[in-house]
Structure 1
Amino acid sequence: MAYPDRREPLPHETENPLSYIYREVITLHYFQEWSVNEIAEHLNLNSNTVKARLARGRHALRQTLEKEGDIEWIKGSQM
């Protein structure tokens, strides 16, 4: 049986370039409008951990968008 050199990405890998821990806090903060303290309490995390995950998630998202060439969206964003 021959195996391909490279597999096609699964749908969840292409739709969500961010790790779950970053998507989780970004979703709660920006889409559900939860405060850092609310997220920390809900996830049983330190508020500094939530802040770090938000910063790292924004950075990873920005890098993904730059790599895909969506520069105009980044320039207009206040993330």
Structure 2
Amino acid sequence: MNLFEVIRNVFVEVCGRDLLSGLSGDDYSGSRLYEDLGLDSVQVVEICAHLESRLGIEFSETDMLGFITLSDILEKLNER
């Protein structure tokens, strides 16, 4: 399972539906978490917590506040 698929599964767990339907790992760059995907700040924190647990990583508060697009999350995960 690639990183995009892990994120997609976490989005389904947190949001109860596949918000990333129709996107592939190459199509995500413009997807804004709040405006395009309709997430609120609590959902973003929950998504981060699920990713931390599943991938054994930790996001700082600054990281989470800086996540505006889906690509922001993917870029931070690729750094780790």
Structure-1-length-normalised TM-score: 0.35
Higher relative contact order (CA 8 A, sep 6+): 2
Structure 1 or 2, whichever has the larger Rg, is 1
Q: Which has the higher helix share?
A: 1
